[in-house]
Amino acid sequence: MRLALIVILLISALHICYSKEVFAVGDLHGDWKAAISTFDMMNVIEKGSNPPKLTLSENQTLVQTGDLLDRGRNGLQLLRLSMYWHKHHPDQFVQLLGNHELMNMQRIFEYVNDEELTPEYRSIFRNSSSSEMIYLENDTIITTIIDDVLYVHAGLLHEYAILGTEEINQQTKAALKSKNFRHSLLRSSGPLWTRKLAMKSCKALTKALKAVNAKHMVVGHTIQKDGVNIQCLDETGHAIILIDTGISFGNKGGIKIVDGRYLHVYSEKKGTVVHDLEAKKTFESVVDRVESAQNRDEL
């Protein structure tokens, strides 16, 4: 009886209280098998579909925070999957640009896997009219805000945040199309490269978030060996959520944020843990979160 009640409450929470669910996955770095396994673990793809099809409902969005390319052997395959999802799910899939996509656009192939670095691979990034280059220049973005949560590859410092997300995306797109790789947004302190906020710079985080009227920030880029890492929440009430778990190294993980408040952390090794970013509480499972809400008459 108790189990049945919990299930009913859970369904109620998912379909009534939850108005928006945003899934996010960090750096994939050319590891097709690990990437698909991660998406499968998060229940965002149709099992056995080829190419993998997203199974998102209208109130769900998937954000990939960049770095599809380099290191692994299947960077192009992952890039083309991103292109496929963008074509078929334009309102539910967001592809952010990472520094490794940028390097390939600059024809810096230092980190490309030897097995993938073929003449065809080089020609794709040397040809501005290739479908892959057109996609990277036109359809990927640098940053987005959904339900008061900002998503960006590496981090967004105040000096860039004051521009606003729309201006950041427009300026970067123009710079990429004109091959202006010296643009300030593409430099080491910019949103594709900086590691400052990942080093628990809580004051800098708060300053940047206030500039764009956001509460929290989700980033990849800086590997978290122990899985998804939440910083600064206790100190400031604003969290930076680091989601580069090193998927290509076998540490599969990702997140889902519901209503900009409930952070579900997925981990192949640790299972799913739920954090209430507003109440600053952690639950061992979704069921625990529902039971807690029931006790507070929140359902």
| Degrees, nearest 5: CA angle 83-140-199 | 120
Predicted local confidence at residue 218, as pLDDT: 99
Question: The tokens of 236 are what?
Answer: 């400031």
- Answer yes or no: CATH 3.60.21.10 is held by domain 20-46+59-272+284-295: yes
Which pLDDT band, with edges at 50, 70 and 90, does 295 fall under?
Answer: low
Contact, 273 vs 286, CB < 8 A? no
Which pLDDT band, with edges at 50, 70 and 90, does 296 fall under?
Answer: very low
Nearest to 97 by CA among 150, 181, 172, 177: 172
Contact, 242 vs 222, CB < 8 A? yes
Cα torsion through 185, 189, 195, 200, rounded to 10: -110
Question: The tokens of 251 are what?
Answer: 């540490």
Which pLDDT band, with edges at 50, 70 and 90, does 19 fall under?
Answer: low
User: What kind and span of H or E run contains 11?
Assistant: helix 2-12
What's the full length of the chain, in residues? 299
Q: Omega into 191 within 30° of 0, i.e. cis?
A: no
Predicted local confidence at residue 286, as pLDDT: 54
What Rg value do the Cα atoms of the chain yield, rounded?
19
Mean pLDDT along residues 98-127: 98
CA–CA dist 110, 284 (Å, integer) = 42
For residues 256-269, one letter each, b for 16 or more C-beta atoms within 10 angstroms of the residue's C-beta and e for the rest, the string is: bbbebbbbbbbbbe
CA–CA dist 36, 146 (Å, integer) = 24
Q: What is the pLDDT of residues 70-110, one digit of tens each?
A: 999 999 999 999 999 999 999 999 999 999 999 999 999 99
DSSP symbols for 66-92: S--SSSSS-HHHHHHHHHHHHHH-TTT
> Model pTM?
0.90
**Per-domain residue ranges of the chain:** 20-46+59-272+284-295
Position 285 pLDDT exceeds 80: no
Q: For 52, which DSSP code?
A: P
Q: For 233, which DSSP code?
A: H
Question: The tokens of 105 are what?
Answer: 């656009």
Contact, 276 vs 291, CB < 8 A? no
Mean pLDDT along residues 105-123: 98
Position 12 pLDDT exceeds 70: no
Predicted local confidence at residue 284, as pLDDT: 76
